[in-house]
Amino acid sequence: MKHAEVRESLLSKQNELEDRLGRITQHLTKPGNQDWSEQAQERENDEVLEAIGQEAKHELINISAALRRIDEDAYEICDSCGESIPQARLLAMPYTQYCIGCAEKQQG
Band of residue 27 on the pLDDT scale cut at 50, 70, 90: confident
The region of weakest confidence among 14-28, 38-52, 71-85, 88-102 is 38-52
* Residue predicted with more confidence, 108 or 87: 87
Q: For residue 99, with 0-12 CB atoms within 10 Å meaning exposed, 13-18 middle and 19 or more buried, which class applies?
A: buried
- Residue 47's contacts (CB-CB under 8 Å, 6 or more residues apart) are none
Band of residue 63 on the pLDDT scale cut at 50, 70, 90: very high
- pLDDT at position 2 is 87
Q: Quote the CA–CA distance of 14 and 30 in Å, as a whole number.
A: 25
- pLDDT at position 28 is 79
Its pTM surpasses 0.85 = no
